[in-house]
Structure 1
Amino acid sequence: MLFGKLLPREGNFFEMFNQHAERIVEAAQAFSLLVSNYGDLHLREKYHQAVDSAEGAADRVTHEVNRLLHKTFITPIDREQIHSLINTMDDVADLFQDSAEAMALYDIRAMTDEIARLTDLCLRCSERLRDAVKLLDKIADPAVAEAALKTCEEIDRLEGDADRVLRSAMSKLFREETDVRELIKLKAIYELLETITDKCEDVANLIEGVILENS
């Protein structure tokens, strides 16, 4: 009995998931503002830095979760689920930073309607991801578990919308863009943004797995 009392238990994993999800939304919001203010060099740099800051904060949470995972004997959900969830969430934050960095490195000169539409879908996916994560510590309640599953389904639908926007964007790009360099640059940005929604869907799938195994 004494040995059991001395073992590290649970940790604050759900709270750290929430913190990370908030940093993802911060990165998404900053990236959205970068896109909508792209013509203003000062604001573009300001929001690029905000994306970097949010991604750095998310990295610190990820590091703390992985550190705590090694020190905690009893966890609230399966250890592998914790590891996969936090690292896949971190991929989402990384991709926002990658997208902002790619725009700067590739010298993207102006935003397109397709970038704006994909950015909006990325922001909405991130917000719904945060909503689903917030419910994880209450999934023993069937109503909460059902609400979380519905939120995950919404993320799946948004990812499908992003797929369709990407296909349309690629079709238009290859039909209308005559500058090969611009085509290559925009293609890369479109694909990066769509990948953000893919990663959000991956997080949603992991959350669904947690719910089905633990609710």
Structure 2
Amino acid sequence: MSLNSIIKKFLPKDKVFYSIFEQVGANLQEMGNAFRAAIEETNETKRTQMLRALEDGEHKNDDLTHKIFVELGQNFITPFDREDIHYLATSLDDVADFIYASSKKMVNYQVKNIDNYMRDMVIVIQSAIVALDKALHELRNMKNLRAITEACVLINSLENQADDLLDNAIINLFASSTDAIELVKLKDIYQDMEIITDKCEDAANVIESIIIKYA
């Protein structure tokens, strides 16, 4: 092996990691937009098709996460801590997983009536993903730390909003539902939707940790 080849092997491939994380952010945005569009769709048949299509986004995110792990295995030097890269990739993958889990349960449970709690929750989810995508793009050069911090603070605030929505949804559900099976189904969906914002917050916490260490 030539000296140049050895040197290249140990040089940090910043652009590779940043590029993949940006692709993850873009994919999550597409999933968030599609999830909201599906929930706002009034035609049940079309809504079901749109919800099922979210599986493609989840698979795409799995592939991108795998690429990050492959790069971790092949590169001795990384742009920031290997553990942070791993935690960030895992948290982002969890966002995609729970979007798909929520959509899959809506299909499997044959939810016919989309209520205002689901509509409000998906708006919060979409907003959190937009903020997360912004923070991911700013990681590439870390020149605009305020933008990263503001995005992370916004995600934390949106997660609190999702908590409140979940509480109100469950209170209303137990106060108004007389169908035990329907109650269990809706409660399960509400909780999965709220977990999406938890996972966005987990990713934001990793990003904040990274800028504290390296900014």
Q: What amino acid is aligned across from residue 126 of structure 1 in structure 2?
A: I
> Which of 108, 118, 122 is equivalent to 1:105?
108
Aligned to 1:211: 211
- Is 1:16 the counterpart of 2:20 in the alignment? yes
How far did residue 10 of structure 1 move? 2.2
Q: Contact 1:34 / 1:47 at 8 angstroms: preserved in 2?
A: yes
Are 1:33 and 2:58 matched, yes or no? Answer: no
Aligned Cα root-mean-square deviation (Å): 1.5
Tell me the TM-score normalised to structure 2 length: 0.94
Q: Separation in 2 of the partners of 1:14 and 1:194?
A: 28
Instruction: Note the 1:49-64 alignment, pairs <5 A.
Output: 49-64=52-67
Aligned to 1:182: 182
TM-score, structure 1 as length reference: 0.94
Deviation at 1:38, TM superposition (A): 4.7
Is residue 2:82 matched to residue 1:76? Answer: no
Cα deviation per residue 1:21-57 (whole Å; 9 max; x = unaligned)? 111111111111111115330x223312431111111
CA separation of 1:126 and 1:44: change in aligned 2, threshold 3 A:
same
Which one of 78, 89, 93 corresponds to residue 96 of structure 2? 93
1:168-179 mapped onto 2 (5 Å cutoff): 168-179=168-179
Shift of 1:61: 0.6
Displacement of 1:82 in angstroms is 0.6
Specify the SS of the correspondent of 2:22.
helix
Determine the C-alpha separation between the residues in 2 that align with 1:77 and 1:65. 13
* Aligned match of 2:157: 157
Runs of 4+ in 1 over 3 A off after TM superposition: none
Q: Secondary structure at the match of 1:178?
A: coil
Aligned residues: 211
Aligned partner of 2:136 in structure 1 is 133
1:201 maps to which residue? 201
Amino acid at match of 2:49: K
One-letter identity of the residue aligned with 2:12: E
Measured in 1, the distance between the counterparts of 2:98 and 2:71 equals 25
CA apart distance, 1:6? 4.1
Is contact 2:109–2:185 with CA below 8 Å preserved after alignment? yes
Aligned residues of 2:52 and 2:103 also touching (Cα < 8 A): no
> Which residue identity lines up with residue 96 of structure 1 in the other structure?
I
